Amino acid sequence: MVNNAICIGSRESRLAVIQSEIVMEYLKKECPQKEIRLLTMKTTGDKILDRTLDKVGGKGLFVKELDKALLERRSDLSVHSLKDMPMEVPEELPIVAFSKREDPRDVLVLPEGADNLDLSKPIGCSSQRRILQLQQMYPEATFKSIRGNVLTRLNKLDGGEYSGLILAAAGLKRLGLEERISRYYEPDEVIPAAGQGILAVQGRQGEDYSYMERFADREGTIAALCERAFVRYLDGGCSSPVAAHAVIEGDEIFLRGLYYQESTGKYKIGTMRGSLEDPETLGVNLAKKLIWEVGKNE
């Protein structure tokens, strides 16, 4: 912090700014003596829109510039959608808080005025995780990659290029666009991306971030650690259609996960319960179980 200020680094999209403003509002109440600033930037991932992420370097493209600003002390915190963060986070830039989770589900958005999915046109979706699962629900559908921020994608949809879009409920709700949602996919239909709906606040190693303690959400943290451990063990990044969704049920965590074996094209969905005290072990144990189950069927 410089000059009695806390500067938050953010991607410049409307959704990213809204998410950063959630943290800013918290900080204004928690640290009323500090000036709270916002530093926005366009990341490499925001600039390359003509290819899917797995073709150009994965999720790290959305954090590279924000990481640089933190390291150069131009910002004090970065706010990310957790689902867009790489599974490996630099030791010098730890995650200092996970937020309360917004709706984690994936949703279908139809063109304005449409009541049904017109499968003569492709569904707009760039995520292999989503496509793999949706092909089971819509075997006759075709899928076409779509990149850009949420508002850009909605404009393309309403312009007639697609029959529908698959998006995260959390982003639409934060943007105030909940009325565009035509259908929710429950996690037992389409397992969400690990961390979907959770915000991650990243800081610098060795600095005092105790002022973020009350922002951190217990259930969001447990789910984040469990889901990310599952995906990390499978080495699943943007190019691998891996999915994980954890919920707290009483004194247990219930984890649902999807493992895809790229070499064979086989995938397996499984569930497991574990202790609230050790969410990462549960994530690893389910990953090991699914690897074994896919392997034994070869």
Q: State the catalytic residues.
A: 84
Q: How far apart are CA 187 and CA 195, in angstroms?
A: 13
Q: Please report the DSSP string for 97-149 in residue order.
A: EEPPPPP--EEEEPPTT--S--TTS-EE---HHHHHHHHHH-TT--EE---S-
CA distances from 157 to 51, 74, 144, 163 (A): 18, 37, 12, 7
Interatomic CA distance for residues 102 and 107, integer angstroms:
13
Report the C-alpha gap between 66 and 79 in whole angstroms. Answer: 9
Contact 237, 127 (CB under 8 A): no
- DSSP-derived letter for residue 43 is -
